[in-house]
Amino acid sequence: MRTESPVTVICGDSRKVKLPKFDAVVTSPPYVGLIDYHEQHRYAYELLGLPDKKDLEIGAASNGNSKKARADYVKGIGEAFANVRNNIKDNGVVVVVVHDKDKLFLDMASNIGFKTEEVLVRNVNRRTGRRGSDFFEQILIWRAA
């Protein structure tokens, strides 16, 4: 839908970037060791003239899915959500859509100042037509504590 509403693009390291105060976030963070998002979306960086910051990517496929890669991911994504927590308004809400097969998000909310209000499970069966088995995502509803 086209709109005349103002839009601001903030390009930076989600762990450190200065954010304005906001009421809510809806996000689907990268999955650890699954996709190199900077490569997948290189065209967008080029079209928008944004600098390539792939060295800052959290959970890049090129880093694998080892125990160390998962620990690095939890640290990095936790820092990103802590930055969100520092900038969200009182009683703000965060909706996180994630396939948390490794249970990396179980304690994350409480560790960074959110409380988990609800966890919904969504069946994403054959969304792309390439998946032969059921695939489930969790929708985590976090509220600033």
By residue range, what is the domain housing residue 112?
22-144
Phi, psi of 93 (to 5 degrees): -120, 145
Residue 23: both structure tokens together: 């009421």
Nearest-angstrom CA–CA distance, 120 and 76: 24
User: Has residue 52 been placed in a domain?
Assistant: yes
Per-residue pLDDT band for 108 (boundaries 50, 70, 90) equals very high
What burial letters (b/e) apply to 119-137, b meaning 16+ CB within 10 Å? eeeeeeeeeeeeeeeeeeb
Task: Note if the pTM is more than 0.75.
Answer: yes
For 84-106, the pLDDT digits (tens) are 999 999 999 999 999 888 899 98
The residue count of the chain comes to: 145
User: Has residue 5 been placed in a domain?
Assistant: no
Per the structure, how many domains does the chain have?
Answer: 1
